[in-house]
Amino acid sequence: MSAKPLFWRQTCAIVFWREALGVNHTQELAIDRASLARQGRRLEYFTIVWNALEGLVAVFAGMLAGSISLVGFGIDSFIEVTSGGALLWRMSVDADAERREANERIALRVVGLCFLALAVYVAAESIVDLVRRHAPEHSIPGIVLACFSLVVMPLLSRAKRKVGDALGSAAMHADATQTDFCVYLSAVLLCGLVLNALFGLWWADPAAALLMTPFIAKEGLEGIHGESCCDRS
């Protein structure tokens, strides 16, 4: 008996039993997508919890130190909570293609509005501090918080992008980009706080925060207009 007929008989038998058991490619894709959506929801739950705690610490420490970049970092964390909630809502209906598309558009715009809110707040407060020559106090908790964020946020962003790629979700990509901005904010925050603590450069804190605003605003406008990194690549 030749190998070729045997191979085809085995293949037909596998197909027959798969069909008999009700297993097909479409169902496998649906199962995979459901698993990815669950992973996306877990990432957003983590985003919400982490950023809520991070925001409380940053705002409290920033108010004590009079640091606009630290307070702005805390406000960004709360904005990311809002963004995470929007993505959680988006992932909750992923199995429904029609609702998925509608929620995708809404979630993308919510993330865009979150970006713009952050940009306006940071720009306004930074300009006021520069004009008033307000010097923030040293903040060791702020420095520690920025260091932790620099470790956690890149890992979270990478995980979100993988889910966004697999699901074809522009909103998840935008949320990952917002997480990337949290990394940039952390780096800028750390530089500003360290420069102020070591060399007494009072302007480093608001100037560092002000430098971030054009990039944040750009992402916000693109999100509101329904664009994403997927569209721009």
Q: What are the structural domains of the chain?
A: 25-232 (1.20.1510)
130, exposed or middle or buried, with CB in 10 Å at 0-12, 13-18, 19+?
middle
Which pLDDT score, from 0 to 100, does residue 114 have? 80
Per-residue HEC secondary structure of 152-175 comes to HHHHHHHHHHHHHHHHCCHHHHHH
Q: How far apart are the first and last CA of the chain?
A: 53
Per-residue pLDDT tens for 100-158?
677 777 877 887 888 888 788 778 878 887 888 766 667 788 888 889 989 999 999 99
Q: b/e map of 200-230 (b: 16 or more CB within 10 Å)?
A: eebbbbbbbbbebbeebbebbebbbeebbbe
pLDDT tens across 21-79, in order? 444 444 555 557 778 888 888 888 998 999 999 999 988 888 887 776 678 778 878 88
Confidence of residue 10 (pLDDT cuts 50, 70, 90): very low
At 224, the pLDDT band (50, 70, 90 cuts) reads confident
Give residues with Cβ within 8 angstroms of 126, minimum separation 6.
68, 69, 72, 206, 207, 209, 210, 213
- Res. 227: pLDDT tops 70: no
pLDDT in tens, 153-196: 999 999 999 988 888 877 788 788 878 877 877 887 787 777 77
